[in-house]
Each structure stands twice: as structure tokens, then as C-alpha cells.
Amino acid sequence: MMQAFLDIFDIYLLETVINGILFGGVLALLALGLNLIFGVIDVTWICYAELVMIGMYGMYYLVTIYGVPYWAAAPMCILLVAGMGALLHFLVIEPLLSSPPVNQLLATGGVLFFLQSLATVAFGVEFHNIGIQLPVLRLGEMNFSYARLLSFAAALIGMVAVYVFMRRTYVGTAIRAIAQDRQIMVLMGVDTRRIYLITSALGGALAGLAACLLVLLYDVHPFIGLSIGPITFLICVLGGLGNFIGGFVAAFVFAEIISLGGMFSDLEWGYVLAFGFFIVMMFIRPAGLLSRRS
Amino acid sequence: MNRRQLAIAIAGAVLIALPFVHRDPYHLHILILILIWSFAYTSWSMMGRFGLVSLGHGGFMGAGAYVTALLWNHLGISPWLGIPLALAVSAALALVVGYPCFRFRITGHYFVLVTLALSGIVLQIITAARDWTGGSLGYTPERTKGSVLVALQFEDKTTWYLIALAVWAGGLLIWRWVDGSMDRYALEAISEDEDAAAAAGVNVTYEKLKITVLSAVMTAFSGALYCQYQMFISPDTVSGISVSLQMVFAAIVGGLYVALGPTVGAIITILMAEGLRIGLGTKAVGWDNLIYGLLLVLFIIFLPKGVLGSILARIKARR
């Protein structure tokens, strides 16, 4: 009896752990985009998840209304959100670059309201499903949806692509240099305006990629940003704002907590647990998971 | 100065006399909402004016509203006792979040995001504990089980108007009291340069904690009051990031650094929302926030001192 219970329990546990890892991939992708913006421009886009939401609507309309195949819609959607990221920087952040950082953050808060209501007005409050049913992979007793596997793989590829871009290209090098020292790089002849715009577009593109993947997992509605956003911010703070590796690790830690917490109770309690963990970590490691204590 | 006192006395008398002269229930309802939200926005600005931008106030407000209502419905504890308990809960929340932040010098973006987490937690807990709180469908305190006064439930709008007016005026008095205290100078020094303030002998952690707890308790009180007045609360109207941003927005639009700024912000935002609701009818869903968001961005870029703050600054410059 006990043995049978343990067997089932272990399988469930393993399934949950693996699903947590798969979920972590998308979270890591989201955190990377936000961290990139923060690390380079020193701005927090509170409306980051709303960009993802707009991207998800883009996918929904392209695929279900206009009948564009998924693989063709995805690049279009990534470009769309990348353009929105650049536009956000150009219209909102650039006029505020010399004012206190908190003003920039609050202005993007205004953009959050704006995008959310825009979606409500334009698309209505109904939940929309993209209507792509991917099969389920059965491994022994465990079930994994292909949607999750696909999103995990795509998220990893996206992250590797960003890494290569940052390491191997001239613009990538300039971005990393600016992240290290904003004042000196101007003297070295780097056009900060251009680099900021490129970084914003890149951050937007990552949000777009995340949107293409999340639309496979969840229904889209105007307020979905409110459920994605907070968790992304927490991951970035937990990993240390601007710390790419820290954000990556924190994303998986969070995904596991949510996944395991959700196994024993509702998914919402998983979130509560993750938030609680976050507060505790604030006491232990206030400057991020990977920071050294001073 | 005497002229100013006279003006305040006249304004007070007019505000108190208003419900006895003008009895239109809809107008009174709007006025009560403006007063309650003005008090909430003033509470936010208590710390916001010192550069402590918190997006956690939705959490404090939610705690204030839900703890009061839950104690009344499940344990039959009168709001007269329930509200102080709710205030204590949000003070504890403020301490738990504030202490590590201030002790470990978490400022700027970090502070905003950590407090944002608090809003998120409170919202998730209210939604997750749906067996007790009704989840996202909202929650209604049970109608009075005895004396009206004990339950703090009044049908009469005039009573509510006077209560809200008193609370709002109390908020302004607290603002004045902080404004005239030594803490204000300490906090202003901290917002300019924390290290320099600490070197000059300011206990940074203690000062920040004090104003945060004060602000949190006041916000929770506004939540409890809102709950008692409306007799219906839902996670989206009293907690979460939207409510936090709403507070920030109104405070910035009105003017963050002047006592009546948040009140002006509340008047502008609530009248705008109501005007849109009446003008557009059911189509208004979303439009009010659309304009809110746009205005917030424009205000931060072009008018960071807010409406009242800019007007006062211009008057001062002319003298």
C-alpha cells in the first residue's frame, strides 16, 4: 500500500519537476528581456508584460482570423513587438532620460494602463484561444504537452541567439560596454541613442518571442499582463536587476516553486508560495541570488 | 496668515453644510468617493513625496478592506474593533516588507519592484482563498446584525459624507503634522542623498520605516472605509497593481508635493471616469483607463509637478 502510494507520488513529483523546468524556460526568456533593458538603459518597463499581451493578440489575429500559418506569424509578431519596444523607448523613455529614474518607471506604468485599455477597447474582454492543439507526449506514466516542450526549446534557442549576438557582433559588444559604463562609452564614440533604440527593440523582440510561446499555453485576454508581469519582475529582482545569469537561475527556481506548490494545492497558492519565498530572500540576499554579501 | 485661516474656516463650513443644502444622492455618492479616494491618495503621497515610490499600496488597501470584512462576517467582530486589527495587519505587512528594504538600502527601481510584489501577493492570497473571500467574484460584508452603529453601516448618504469628510480632513492634518515635524527634514535629506543623511546623524532605516508604516496604516483605513461604504469589495477594486498605479497616477496628476495635490488628483480622475461613463455608456469600459494612461505619460513628461503643484509654483514665481 505504502509502496504503491510512493510510486504514484514519485511519478507525479517527477512530472511536476520537469513541467516546472519547461515553464522556467519561458520565464527565463521574459526575465532576460527585462534585464537587458534594465542593464543597458537603466529603466524598468513596468508595461513589459503588456507588450507580451499585445504580441499574443497579434498571434491570435494572424493565425485564427487571417489564417497565417503559425511559423510565418511568429516572426511577424516578433517584429511587431520589437517595433513597439523601439517606439516605447523613442516616445516615452527618451524624453525622460535626464529625469529621476522613478519617473521613467511610472511613465511606463501609464503605458501599462494605456495598452491594457487599448486591448479592452479594441479586442474586448473575452478570452481568446489560438486554437492550436498540440499533442501530448507520454513518457511512461508521465504526460508532457508538446506546447511546453516547444516553448522551452524555443526559449532556449532565443536566449542562445541573444548570447551570441552580444558576444560576436560589434553592436552586441557596444551594448555590453554601455551596460558597464554609460559615461565613458559616449567618449569612445558610441552613439548611445542608437544603441538604446537597438536594445529596446531587442527587448521587445524577446517579449514578442515569449508572446508566440505563451499563446500556445494560455488564452489571451487584456489582463493577462497582470498575471505575467509581477512574476517576471520578481524573477529579475531575485536574480539581481541587470544580472542575466541571476535572472536565468531565478526563473527556474521560481518555476519550480510555483509548479511544486501548485501540485499540492491550487496554482494560485503556488504563486503565493513563490511570493513568500521572494520576501524571505529579500532578507537573506537583498541584492540578488548570485550576489556576494557585503 | 489670518486670511488663510479664515479661508479654511469658510471652506470647512461650506463642506459641512453641503449635504444639508444639496441632497442629490448621486452627487453625494460621487463626493463621498472623491473624499475616500482623496484620503487614500494623500496616504500614498505621504511617502511618495519623499521619493519612496511604492506600488504596494494596493496590498495595504486590500488588507484593510478584506480583514475588516472577514472579521465581521466570520467572527462577528464589529468594524470598530476590526478596523484597528486590519490596520495592525497592514502595519505588520509594511514592517515585513519595509524593514529589509530599508535596512539593506533597497531604493529606486528595486524598492518599486519589491513593493509591487506585495501588491501581487495580497491579490493572489485574496483570489486563492476563495472559500473565505469569494475570490475574484468579490465579497460583501453581511448586512447589519443589530445596531447600525456597531456594524458601522449607514443607509444615509449624509452620514457617510460627514464621516468621509472628517477622515479626509484628518488625512490633511496628518500631512500638516508631518510637514512641520523634524522627520520631514530628515526624510527630505534621505531622498536627496541617503549616505550623506546617514553621515549627518539621521537614522535612515527608522525614519523610512516610520513614514512607511504611517502611510500603510492610513491606506488600509481608506480600504476599510471604502468597504464599509460600498458594502462590496473585489480584489480588483481594492488591491493589486492597478489600484497601486491608480494611486500613483492621481497623486502625480494633482501634485505630489502639495497637501491638496492628491485631492485635486482624485477630483480630476473620478470626475473624468464618471464623465466618460455617462457620456459613452457601456462603451466606456476601457476608455477611462486609456485616457488615464495617456495622461499619466504626458503628465510625467511635461508636467511632473502636477496640476496644483504647477499652479502654485507659477503663483509663487509671479510674487
* Residue B218 counted as domain residue: yes
pLDDT in the model for residue B86: 94
B248, B92 in Cβ contact below 8 A? no
Residues of A in contact with B112 (CB under 8 A): 44, 102, 105
Residue numbers in A near B281 (CB within 8 A): none
Q: Residues A231-246: pLDDT tens digits?
A: 888 888 888 877 888 8
- Among A63-77, A171-185, B160-174, where is mean pLDDT lowest? A171-185
Could you tell me if residue B134 is inside a domain? yes
**pLDDT, position A1:** 56
Question: Where in the sequence is the domain holding B66, given as residue range(s)?
Answer: 25-240
CB atoms B245 and A233 under 8 Å: no
| Minimal CA separation from A17 to chain B, in Å | 22
User: B69: closest CA among B289, B238, B316?
Assistant: B238
User: Within 13 A of B300's CA, how many CA atoms are on the CB side?
Assistant: 30
> How many contacts, defined by CB atoms under 8 Å, are there between A and B?
147
Please indicate, yes or no, if residue B4 is contained in any of the structural domains: no
Give me the pLDDT at residue B39, please: 95
pTM: 0.86
- Which residue in B has a C-alpha nearest to residue A110's C-alpha? B293
As beta bridge partners, residue A136 has: A145
Under an 8 A CB cutoff, do A105 and B112 touch?
A: yes
In this predicted complex, what is the ipTM?
0.79
Residue whose C-alpha cell is 466606456: B284
Terminal alpha carbon distance of chain B = 16
CA of B28 vs chain A CAs: smallest distance (Å): 28
What was the pLDDT predicted at A193?
87
CB contact under 8 A, B245 and A112: yes
Tell me the three state secondary structure of residue A113.
helix
CA distances from B14 to A191, B17, B38, B166, B262 (A): 60, 5, 18, 14, 20
Of the candidates B37, B93, B9, B85, the residue with the CA atom closest to the CA atom of residue B248? B37
Whether B29 and B159 have beta carbons less than 8 Å apart is answered as no
Residues in chain A with CB shorter than 8 Å from the CB of B239 are none
Q: What is the mean pLDDT of residues A62-87?
A: 92
Evaluate whether A95 touches B301 at the Cβ level (below 8 Å): yes
CA–CA min distance A95, chain B (Å)? 7
Q: How far is A79 from chain B (nearest CA, A)?
A: 24
Neighbours of A63 (CB within 10 A): 21
Task: Give the closest-approach CA distance of A236 to chain B in angstroms.
Answer: 9
Q: State the DSSP code for B139.
A: B
Within chain B, which residues score under 50 in pLDDT?
none
Q: Which of residues 228-247 of A touch B (CB under 8 A)?
A: 229-231, 233-234, 236-237, 241
Say if the Cβ atoms of A275 and B242 lie within 8 Å: no
- pLDDT interval class at A294 (50, 70, 90): very low
Q: Where are the domains of chain A?
A: 23-122+141-223
The whole-angstrom separation of Cα A235 and Cα A247 is 6
Q: Which of B256, B231, B240, B233 is nearest to B306 (CA)?
A: B256
CB contact under 8 A, A112 and B293: yes
3-state secondary structure string across B180-238: HCHHHHHHHHHHHCHHHHHHCCCCHHHHHHHHHHHHHHHHHHHHHHHHHHHCCECHHHH
- Beta bridge partner(s), residue B186: none
Residue B1: inside a domain, yes or no?
no
Judging by DSSP bridges, how do beta strands A142-145 and A136-139 pair with one another?
A: antiparallel
Among the partner-chain residues B119, B252, B287, the one whose CB lies closest to the CB of A117 is B287
Please name the amino acid found at residue A68: V
Query: In sequence order, what are the residues at sequence separation of 6 or more whose Cβ sits closer than 8 angstroms to the Cβ of residue A199?
Result: A36, A37, A40, A41, A175
B121 with A279: Cβ contact below 8 A: yes
Q: What are phi and psi of A198, to 5 degrees?
A: -65, -45
Cβ <8 Å between B296 and A241: no
Nearest Cβ partner of A279 from B97, B112, B292? B97
- Structural domain tally of chain B? 1
Q: How far apart are CA A268 and CA B127, in angstroms?
A: 8
User: Which among A106, A230, A266 is the nearest to B117, CB-wise?
Assistant: A230
Cα angle, residue A89 at apex, residues A83 and A91 outer, rounded to 5°: 95
The end-to-end CA distance of chain A, in Å, is 52
Q: Are B117 and A275 in contact (CB < 8 Å)?
A: yes
| A171 and chain B in contact, CB less than 8 A | no
Least confident of A141-145, A152-156, B176-180, B226-230: A141-145
Task: Measure in Å the smallest separation between the Cα of A5 and chain B Cα atoms.
Answer: 28
Give chain A positions within 8 Å (CB) of B117.
230, 233-234, 237, 275, 278-279
The DSSP bridge partners found for residue A137 are: A144
H or E element at residue A138: strand A136-139
Residue B233 burial by Cβ neighbours in a 10 Å radius (0-12, 13-18, 19+): buried
Is the Cα torsion angle A230, A233, A238, A244 positive or negative in sign?
positive
Strand partners, A143: A138
- Residue holding cell 476599510? B224
Nearest to A29 by CA among A257, A286, A212: A212
Whether B129 is covered by a domain: the verdict is yes
CB contact (8 A) between residue B300 and residue A272: no
Is A54 or A285 the better-scoring residue by pLDDT? A54
Phi, psi of B248 (to 5 degrees): -60, -45
Whether residues B110 and A241 touch (CB distance < 8 A) is answered with yes
Residue in B251, B271, B311 with CA at minimum distance from that of residue A109: B251
User: B248 vs A106: CB contact, 8 Å cut-off?
Assistant: yes
**Which pLDDT value is given to residue B266?**
92
3-state DSSP assignment of residue A145? strand
**Three cell numbers, residue B181:** 515635524
Chain B contact set for A57 (CB, 8 A): none
Are residues B117 and A234, on separate chains, in Cβ contact within 8 Å?
A: yes
| Of residues B110, B125, B296, nearest to A113 (C-beta) | B296
Q: What is the pLDDT of residues A93-115, one digit of tens each?
A: 988 888 877 788 888 888 998 99
